Structure 1
Amino acid sequence: MSTKADTLGVVVVGAGPTGLLLAGDLAAAGVRVVVLDRNAEPVQTPKGNGVVGRAVLELRRRKLLRGTGLRVVRPPRFRFGPFTLELGLLRSPLHVLPVPQHRLELLLAQRAVRLGATVQRGREVTGFEQDGDGVTVQAAAGGSPVELRTRYLVGCDGARSFVRKYLGIGFPGVTSANISRLARVTIPAGAVARVGDRIEVRGVGPLVPFRPNRTGHGSITIAPADALDRSAPDDVYIVSTHEPRGDSEPTDELSDDELRASLRRVLGADLPYTTAVAARSVVANSRHAERYREGRVFLAGDAAHIFSAGGSAINAGLLDAVALGRTLAAVLRGAAPQAELDAYQSERRPAAQRTLALTRLQVALDADDETGEALRDVLGDLVRDRATARRVAALIEG
């Protein structure tokens, strides 16, 4: 058994944005914190493309963006399901930070380490036991067992969270009947042109970027990669198809033949790309953990909630980290009683529930059925009103 001097303040499982921000905030408060991640190296596969909402202000407040060239924008319009919210040119209520997730994780990891946190990669948590004084965490490192003793444990280990499953906490929700296949593709300059607010693709026709283009067999979304990452080549585009799932299962590695077949089914023509990278398929889920705490163990980020529409997961997870870091630091410093730890769930669970409602509404608005058509007919008139659009944007802001 570890001595009291060897006991850590917090062990965080998962080196994604949520876990790394939490670690940095705790280290800044003088807490001894270690982050464990099962991957030997940071994941470079393109995932999220930015942060949307109040979490952007939290990142800026921590001076995370200083000297990076990254810029916070307040967009005059923003997508909400099939609609475009017209927010106006002056003081949009929404803050957006375009940044690839792998770069955001690098910045957060550098900050956490600089402040005194330890990030250990290639460490897979295999179990843990808690008692009245702390938590004993078992992990595997290169096939060898490792044990750590900590006051508190936080699972920031994603939608398939080991920590949540080990605690036996339910994760009820809804799985989509559709599947998305996405990749970064290179389209030669002669086969594509950006004309006004359209992307003209040879053999396909005009496509509206950043929003689903509906066809008789699903939809396709396309966006220039350099609009989200200035370092990206100007011939690289992020594409995703959306079509009925059928018997298909999501996979982290999608073959080129499957990607081309999906594009052909949706478009009715071949997309003239030459190469594709980071091709994968996903099935959207909308789920919420039954609780965020079990004694000295907490859940945050995707381990606690996942959303069926983009733009919300990172924002919600980062705000979890802010709230939990503030509370844990106060308790560990002796500035607040342990009972204050209940405030984390009472603050963040209702916020996530509201975000779930917003994202589920967006999915319903996009549905190709009579209910979806009825919702679009009714809500389309409402969101065209700028005051209503700004109110919706304020909810997205969090």
Structure 2
Amino acid sequence: MSAQRDASILDVIVVGAGPTGLLLAGDLAAAGVRAVVLDRAAEPVQAPKGNGVVGRAALELRRRKLLRGTGLRVVRPPRFRFGPLTLELGLLRSPLHVLPVPQHRLERLLAERAVRLGATILRGHEVTGLEQDGDGVTVQAAADGSPVNLRARYLAGCDGARSFVRKHLGIGFPGVTSADISRLARVTIPPGAVTRVGDRIELRGIGQLAAFRPNRTGHGSITIAPADALDRSAPNDVYIVSTHEPRADSEPTDELGDDELRASLRRVLGADLPYTTAYAARSVVANSRHAERYRQGRIFLAGDAAHIFGAGGSAINAGLLDAVALGKHLAAVLRGEAPDTRLDVYRSERRPAVQRTLALTRLQVALEAGDETGEALRDVLEELVRDRATARRIATLMEG
């Protein structure tokens, strides 16, 4: 460790206790760096969100022994979804690694690791101001209505798509917003109303739907999957459903009413989905955006604060890899093993990788389009990915 460090200030303040911020804090603590995580929420969010980690990020978690004793394991699936298409990767040596894990459980594991290694997590601390100078960053926060001031040599903004850190710095976030809206929920479907038939789900009054991939109709699409296929602890009568249809004048909301959910399902399916209860219902409008800068002085962006993707399944993966890269470079500088200019490598490493991920997710969104262009793309690519070498090449790009 560097003998010149001022013990009166922290090394790194991490804003945001999502997967990106928690992995970063744990990696810094493992390197002997003093890290504090600030999160505005008083408690970890338990609502279902992401369902797994895909690609090299899964291997990074395994390498950190995060999965020991959890019953979780990284698998290499013989097939995987790419937008509305299925990539047949083969039973042997699939190039894609997947860790099925609910996001709330992943966050708990990452938080336990970070604290065990020496990081501090302060929940209920909302950042309200930032000031930086040549020696460090001063953070103003509010906790239980009282002001809190902290100072560190560096700060990492891992505080999500609506990042206070990014907005406070005035860093642009260009990109595109979808003209469609997705409504998502977990629903309970009584056993008498649903039957699983291989990779298909038969619903009373509706017929068969393919599981895990969009089922297109004349008014949009619906995706349905049994929750226990992604989370073994989930009841076997719970299903994850999502509709995708034109947005019109609808606005996304974190608390979607049952009437709106049922109406969307009815519009897309042309019939009522036979569920009894729904929870964790919300609606989202896909955005695909990339921050103009990853660094401003002593402040960095990572995860959703730096990039968001129009297709699901990419945000956690990209954010975790941001954390791996940023943690490595910050630790080297703070331990006196490299000059401050080493931190510029973070951008040069991650920006091209994120650009490729953005391209892959934008292609998936285009494949979902209900217009003639989307239909043409699906026809051509569906034929191309029947060649296993092509499917495996796409999977290799997704692996990161």
Shorter-chain TM-score: which interval? over 0.9
Shift of 1:195: 1.0
Shift of 1:132: 0.6
Q: How does 1:82-231 map to 2 (within 5 A)?
A: 82-231=84-233
Question: Residue 222 of structure 2 aligns to a residue in which SS?
Answer: strand
Match of 1:351 in 2: 353
Shift of 1:103: 0.2
Shift of 1:375: 1.4
Question: Residue 241 of structure 2 aligns to a residue in which SS?
Answer: strand
For residues 280 and 379 of structure 2, the distance between their equivalents in structure 1, rounded to whole angstroms, comes to: 37
Match of 1:382 in 2: 384
Match of 2:258 in 1: 256
Question: Residue 11 of structure 1 aligns to a residue in which SS?
Answer: strand
Q: How does 1:255-334 map to 2 (within 5 A)?
A: 255-334=257-336
Number of aligned residue pairs: give it: 396
Q: Which runs of 4+ in 1 moved over 3 A?
A: none
Question: Residue 298 of structure 1 aligns to a residue in which SS?
Answer: strand
For residues 60 and 275 of structure 1, the distance between their equivalents in structure 2, rounded to whole angstroms, comes to: 36
Question: Residue 223 of structure 1 aligns to a residue in which SS?
Answer: strand
List per-residue Cα deviations over 1:177-212 (Å, max 9, x = no partner): 100011100000000010122100101110111000
List per-residue Cα deviations over 1:204-255 (Å, max 9, x = no partner): 1101110001111111000000001000000000000110000000000011
Shift of 1:388: 0.7
Match of 1:59 in 2: 61
For residues 83 and 108 of structure 1, the distance between their equivalents in structure 2, rounded to whole angstroms, comes to: 32
**Gapped regions of structure 1 (runs ≥ 5):** none
Match of 1:21 in 2: 23
Shift of 1:27: 0.1
Q: How does 1:72-91 map to 2 (within 5 A)?
A: 72-91=74-93
Question: Residue 4 of structure 1 aligns to a residue in which SS?
Answer: coil
For residues 263 and 85 of structure 2, the distance between their equivalents in structure 1, rounded to whole angstroms, comes to: 28
List per-residue Cα deviations over 1:240-271 (Å, max 9, x = no partner): 01100000000000111111111111100001
Shift of 1:8: 0.3
Question: Residue 347 of structure 2 aligns to a residue in which SS?
Answer: helix
For residues 215 and 68 of structure 1, the distance between their equivalents in structure 2, rounded to whole angstroms, comes to: 40
For residues 34 and 197 of structure 1, the distance between their equivalents in structure 2, rounded to whole angstroms, comes to: 45
Shift of 1:387: 0.5
Match of 2:367 in 1: 365
> TM-score of the superposition, structure 2-length normalised?
0.98
For residues 375 and 6 of structure 1, the distance between their equivalents in structure 2, rounded to whole angstroms, comes to: 58
Q: Which amino acid aligns with 1:86?
A: E
For residues 63 and 11 of structure 1, the distance between their equivalents in structure 2, rounded to whole angstroms, comes to: 24
Shift of 1:377: 2.3
Match of 2:41 in 1: 39
Question: Residue 6 of structure 1 aligns to a residue in which SS?
Answer: coil
For residues 267 and 54 of structure 2, the distance between their equivalents in structure 1, rounded to whole angstroms, comes to: 32
For residues 60 and 397 of structure 2, the distance between their equivalents in structure 1, rounded to whole angstroms, comes to: 17
Match of 2:51 in 1: 49
Give percent identity, aligned residues only.
87
Shift of 1:370: 1.5
Q: Structure 1 stretch 157-166 or stretch 75-84: which is displaced more? A: 75-84
For residues 270 and 380 of structure 2, the distance between their equivalents in structure 1, rounded to whole angstroms, comes to: 31
Shift of 1:378: 2.0
Q: Which amino acid aligns with 1:163?
A: V
RMSD: 0.8
Q: Which amino acid aligns with 2:212?
A: F
For residues 8 and 52 of structure 2, the distance between their equivalents in structure 1, rounded to whole angstroms, comes to: 38
Q: Which amino acid aligns with 1:300?
A: A
> TM-score of the superposition, structure 1-length normalised?
0.99
For residues 321 and 269 of structure 1, the distance between their equivalents in structure 2, rounded to whole angstroms, comes to: 45
Q: Structure 1 stretch 79-88 or stretch 96-105: which is displaced more? A: 79-88
Shift of 1:373: 1.7
Match of 2:8 in 1: 6
For residues 59 and 77 of structure 1, the distance between their equivalents in structure 2, rounded to whole angstroms, comes to: 22
For residues 274 and 127 of structure 1, the distance between their equivalents in structure 2, rounded to whole angstroms, comes to: 46
For residues 374 and 188 of structure 1, the distance between their equivalents in structure 2, rounded to whole angstroms, comes to: 38
Check if 1:338 corresponds to 2:334.
no
